Amino acid sequence: MAWPRVQDRRILATLLTALVALAWWALWLGEQSPWGHHLLHGAAANQPASPLTFAVVFVCGWLLMTVAMMLPASSPLILLFHRMLHGRGDASALIALLIGGYLAVWLFFGVLIFALTRAAQAAAASVPWLIQNRWTPAAILLTAGVYQFTPLKYACLDKCRSPMTFLVQRWRAKRPTREAFRLGVDHGLYCVGCCWSLMLVMFAMSAGSLVSMLALGVAMAAEKNLPWGRRLSAPVGVLLIAAAAAFLIT
């Protein structure tokens, strides 16, 4: 079956907006369900559950959060790629491959975090103070805050903030399907390199709520897309370090 052709940039923007809105709606519905804390990776996610069920719910929630929070920040790249593909009959398929590669990287990162979470829970069973004292959340916040000032953070952020340069350097149209998927994967890797610590704060601190997700999503989108967004990294880092100190003091 042939892919539908999306020629109008406004149609693609509308489809992306609808996809993001659908993800937020699904997360809102999930928050109301008995599995809400598992879906949003909150504190109740530590409750017992069969490994397979927990894994499925966790990964599904992570994928929904990625679409809801990270896809808006990457929409400029997707729309620019659509412009580069103007007139191609396979444009819709290539855009889908780009988005698929991007989400695949975040999904892999989510699976990795899931594995680390389960390992931490197993360790905490024999060493309860790992999750009961204030050092653990403080360490997470401090790590995320310090990372905001690292060269790696800014190098990845600069790649995310220059979508046209990113595309021109990588798109050759010689092997379109492979290149489109690789574009998504490469962009996803830079995006993870830029935002992994903020995503980690979200659920590792049991802040799995729609309000905290929305705030973090807005901050990451502003960092990547607004003209002055790069200057947000330092203030966000200061706030995270101050929050780490507050955990130790209060």
18-48, pLDDT tens digit by residue? Answer: 999 998 888 888 776 655 555 555 444 445 4
Q: Are 134 and 89 in contact (CB under 8 A)?
A: no
d(CA 139, CA 111): 22
**Lowest model confidence (mean pLDDT) among 8-12, 26-30, 197-201, 211-215:** 8-12
DSSP state of 162: -
* Nearby residues of 46 by Cβ (< 8 Å), 6 or more positions away: 121, 131
- Angle between the N-to-C axes of helices 176-204 and 163-170, in degrees from 0 to 180, rounded to the nearest 10: 140
pLDDT confidence of residue 180? 95
Angle, helices 71-84/91-126, rounded to nearest 10 degrees: 160
* pLDDT in the model for residue 39: 55
Q: What is the pLDDT of residue 201?
A: 82
* Tokens of residue 31, six digits: 């928050």
Placement of tokens 């595309």 in the chain: 167
Residue 1, domain member (yes or no): no
pLDDT at 44: 42
Amino acid at 131: I
The number of folded domains in the chain is 1
Range of the domain at 122: 9-249
Of residues 207 and 96, the one with the higher pLDDT is: 96
Q: Is the pLDDT of residue 97 over 90?
A: yes
In a domain, 191, yes or no: yes
Round to whole Å and give the CA distance between 243 and 239.
6
- 160, part of any domain: yes
Query: Residue 199: which pLDDT band, with cuts at 50, 70 and 90?
Result: confident
- pLDDT on residue 247: 82
Of the two residues 44 and 194, the one the predictor is more confident about is 194
142, amino acid identity: L
When pLDDT is averaged across residues 175-195 and rounded to a whole number, the result is 94
In terms of pLDDT, which residue wins out, 240 or 134?
A: 240
Q: 47-56, 101-110, 193-202 — which one is most confidently predicted on average? A: 101-110
Residue 221 lies in a domain: yes
Question: For the segment 119-171, what is each residue's pLDDT rounded down to a tens digit?
Answer: 776 776 666 665 556 677 788 889 999 999 999 999 999 999 999 999 999 99
